[in-house]
Amino acid sequence: MKKFLMVAALSLSAVAVQAKDIVDTAVAAGNFKTLATALTAAGLIDTLKGKGPFTVFAPTDEAFAKVPKADLDALLADKAKLTAVLTYHVVPGKVMAKDVKAGKVKTVQGSEITVTTAGGVMVDKARVTATDIVADNGVIHVIDSVIMPK
CATH number at residue 120: 2.30.180.10
Query: Would you tell me how many other CB atoms lie within 10 Å of the CB of residue 8?
Result: 10
Which residues of the chain fall short of a pLDDT of 70?
1-19
What is the pLDDT, as a whole number, of residue 9? 40
What is the pLDDT, as a whole number, of residue 39? 94
What is the pLDDT, as a whole number, of residue 14? 40
| pTM score | 0.85
What is the pLDDT, as a whole number, of residue 7? 39
Does residue 2 fall inside a structural domain?
A: no
Measuring CA to CA, which residue among 60, 37, 12, 49 is closest to residue 136? 49
Does residue 57 fall inside a structural domain?
A: yes
- Interatomic CA distance for residues 71 and 69, integer angstroms: 5
Q: Which domain holds residue 52?
A: 19-143
Domain count along the chain: 1
Phi, psi of 19, deg, nearest 5: -65, 130
